Amino acid sequence: MNTDPLERLRTAAAAREAAGLRRALRPRTPDHDGLLDLASNDYLGLSRDPRLAEAAARAAREWGTGSTGSRLVTGSTRLHAELEERLASFMNAPRALVLSSGYLANLAAVATLGAGGLVVSDEGNHASIIDACRLSRARVVVTPHKDVEAVEKALANRTESHAVVVTDAVFSVDGDLAPLAGLHAAAARHGALLVVDEAHSLGVTGEDGRGAVHAAGLAGAPDVVRTVTLSKSLGSQGGAVLGAPEVVETLVDTGRAFIFDTGLAPASVAAALAAVDIVSGHPDLPGRARANARALAGAVRDRGLATAEPAAAVVPVVLGPPEAALAAAAALAAQGVRAGCFRPPSVPPGRSCLRLTARANLSSDDLAVIGRALTAVAEMKVSV
């Protein structure tokens, strides 16, 4: 018997090292170490907007730096209530409930609403949805990517009293759009709730940035539940669940991810409120983000690299083995561009990739720099 409890961890770390799967924290400077940012989820370029910063600072001065408790004790402020009202209005939802992260929003929605029933989940869903499925103690059926027929079959064969179908709206790595109309029709035929994670579609998808569910004409459907994060297009921190009053009340009464979590800090709430106002008042922002994503995808394809037409702001460049993705990310950095580098377990084996994210505030000069950097990646592709 091995008496060193850390030996297995060292052995596993060595195996990850050999497979090119070690990770490291690399603290950045405020200007991304002088690199052009194509790695963050700041799709509308609002995280450094002075209006958000001033709103956050004002809230911190008035309310303090923390919410001081769970939402059901002292962690609900008038700011939280205002943000919930504004989010619900902007996204045409009956109610909204703010949590301290988008991850927890998915945990709360899926684990609570699916508990003891059937959960049908797309194989491409985000890790927070996968974890929520596990925590739900439901029977979970994982269906092939965007396969409405497989979802229909799983629902038709269920013996459980209730069911939830859950999907990303825009998938976080591939950047493609879920078949929301088909999924909703299948769920409705079998009396199931449809839960849609709008993390990568809020602020980008649809002419006014109200998200993919709104664009699909499903925003008012009582059997559709949406989760969002406030940390991407809205440039702040936190998450929310949007749905019928019965959904929100159930989460408040029984949702462990909501009940036992400290409320979102007032500064983050205020910044998100300011961001909703900006997006509401500037309907051109989502279109600019999507246009820049199309320009990025075109630059990728022009250099002989493969990518699909983006549904939102995410542009993946699949390169295969982890070493190829790491080398490509290093080549971009050498040309002044920071890109996301995704390797297993974030993506399936053989699908390591660069993940380029467009922003509404990318300039023509920025796009020229990106083009030169992608040329460097294309030239090294043969050797990787």
Check pLDDT > 80 for residue 1: no
Closest CA to 347 of 318, 312, 308, 380: 318
Check pLDDT > 50 for residue 383: no
Number of helices (H), then strands (E), belonging to the chain: the values are 14, 11
| pTM, to two decimals | 0.94
Amino acid identity for residue 269 in this structure: V
Average pLDDT on 191-211 reads 96
pLDDT at 276: 98
> Which tokens in the block code for residue 67?
């919410």
Residue 159 phi, psi dihedral angles, 5° rounding: -110, -10
CA-to-CA distance for 232 and 210, rounded, in angstroms? Answer: 14
pLDDT at 380: 79
Average pLDDT for the chain: 95
For residue 307, count CB atoms less than 10 angstroms from its CB and return exposed for 0-12, middle for 13-18, buried for 19 or more: buried
**Which pLDDT band holds residue 381 (cuts at 50, 70, 90)?**
low
Query: Tens of pLDDT along 214-254?
Result: 999 999 899 999 999 999 999 999 999 999 999 999 999 99
Q: What percentage of residues in the chain have a pLDDT greater than 90?
A: 87
CA-to-CA distance for 117 and 220, rounded, in angstroms? Answer: 24
pLDDT at 224: 98
> Which tokens in the block code for residue 121?
């989940």
Q: Is 159 or 206 the better-scoring residue by pLDDT?
A: 159
Which domains are present in the chain? 50-281 (3.40.640.10), 283-383 (3.90.1150.10)
Find all residues with CB under 8 Å of 141, minimum gap 6, and list them.
Answer: 118, 119, 120, 121, 154
